[in-house]
């Protein structure tokens, strides 16, 4: 795979757009199809494509396992923490009404933050699973 020039250059051309598309899907989820899950899986797919083409060692430089494994619980904590913030603002758990004076804006902010938590957990879990399976194969 190291010598396959077309694959390597083609992958390098495509990779930033995959990540950009993931971010688009994440932040445009209120207005078009998409959301945290899809964005997380697409972002993880970028890292996995990079690992397949350039090797797992190169992939670990752009997504170090320490950071990935830190992000797995971080997303759940972001989600949980959003609920606690809404509790502190005087509303029910995960009721986003207090985040902004305008009702719709408040709920859009809440959805965005919660989806960010989903993105973090889903993408890092998928990357961590891929690393675990791929490393098992090294003999």
Partner 1 sequence: MQALETLATHYNYFITIVLMISGLFIVIARGNLIKKLVGLSLFQTSVYLLYLTPAKILGGTAPIYNPAYKVYSNPLPHVLMLTAIVVGVATIALGLALVVRIKEAYGTIEEDEIFSKDPDSE
Partner 2 sequence: MTPLATPLAPAAGHVAAAVEKVEPNVEAFIMMVVLTLLAAITIAIVKQRNMFGVVILSGIYSFLMASLMMVLDAVDVAMTEASVGAGISTVLLLATLHLTGSMEYPQHRSIAIPLFVSLAVGAILVWGTIGLPEFGIADAPMHQHVAPTYIEYSKNHQMPPNMVTAVLADFRSFDTFGEVTVVFTAGIGVLLLLQGGWRATSNNRRDDDDDEDVEDAVHGNKEGSSKTAGGRNA
Let me know if 138 is exposed, middle or buried by CB neighbors in 10 A (0-12, 13-18, 19+).
Answer: exposed
* CA atoms within a 13 Å half-sphere pointing along the CA-CB vector of 131: 21
Residue 60 interaction partner, one of partner 2, partner 1, none, beta carbon < 5-8 Å per kind: partner 2
Q: Is 13 in the site for partner 2 (CB under 8 A)?
A: no
Q: Which of residues 118-137 bind partner 1 (CB under 8 A)?
A: 122, 125, 129, 132-133, 136
Q: Is 36 in the site for partner 2 (CB under 8 A)?
A: yes
Rounded distance between C-alpha atoms, residue 31 and residue 98, angstroms: 22
Considering only CA atoms, which of 119, 94, 96, 127 is closest in space to residue 35? Answer: 119
Q: Is 42 in the site for partner 2 (CB under 8 A)?
A: yes
Q: Considering beta carbons, is residue 8 or 27 the nearer one to partner 2?
A: 27
Q: Is 139 in the site for partner 1 (CB under 8 A)?
A: no
**Distance, first Cα to last Cα, the chain:** 18
Range 14-30 burial, b when 16+ CB lie within 10 A, else e: ebeebbebbeebbeebe
Q: Is 138 in the site for partner 1 (CB under 8 A)?
A: no
Task: List, in order, residues 6 or more apart from 48 with CB less than 8 Å away.
Answer: 59, 126, 127, 130
Q: Is 101 in the site for partner 2 (CB under 8 A)?
A: no
- Which of 32, 101, 104, 139 is in the footprint of partner 1 by CB under 8 A? 32
Which residues contribute to the site for partner 2 (CB under 8 A)? 25, 29-38, 41-42, 44-45, 48, 52, 57, 60, 64-66, 69, 72-73, 75-76, 79-80, 83, 93-94, 96, 103-104, 107-108, 110-111, 114-115, 117-118, 121-122, 124-126, 128-130, 132-139
């Amino acid at each position: 795979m190291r010598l396959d020039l077309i694959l390597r250059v083609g992958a390098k051309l495509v990779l930033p757009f995959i990540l950009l598309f993931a971010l688009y899907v994440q932040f445009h989820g209120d207005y078009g199809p998409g959301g945290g899950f899809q964005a997380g899986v697409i972002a993880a797919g970028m890292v996995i494509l990079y690992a397949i083409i350039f090797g797992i060692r190169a992939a670990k430089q752009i997504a170090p396992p320490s950071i990935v494994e830190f992000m797995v619980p971080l997303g759940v904590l972001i989600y949980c923490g959003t609920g606690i913030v809404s509790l502190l603002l005087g509303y029910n758990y995960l009721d986003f009404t207090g985040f902004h004076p305008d009702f719709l804006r408040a709920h859009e902010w809440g959805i965005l933050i919660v989806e960010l938590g989903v993105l973090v957990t889903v993408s890092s879990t998928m990357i961590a699973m891929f690393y675990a399976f791929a490393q098992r194969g090294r003999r």
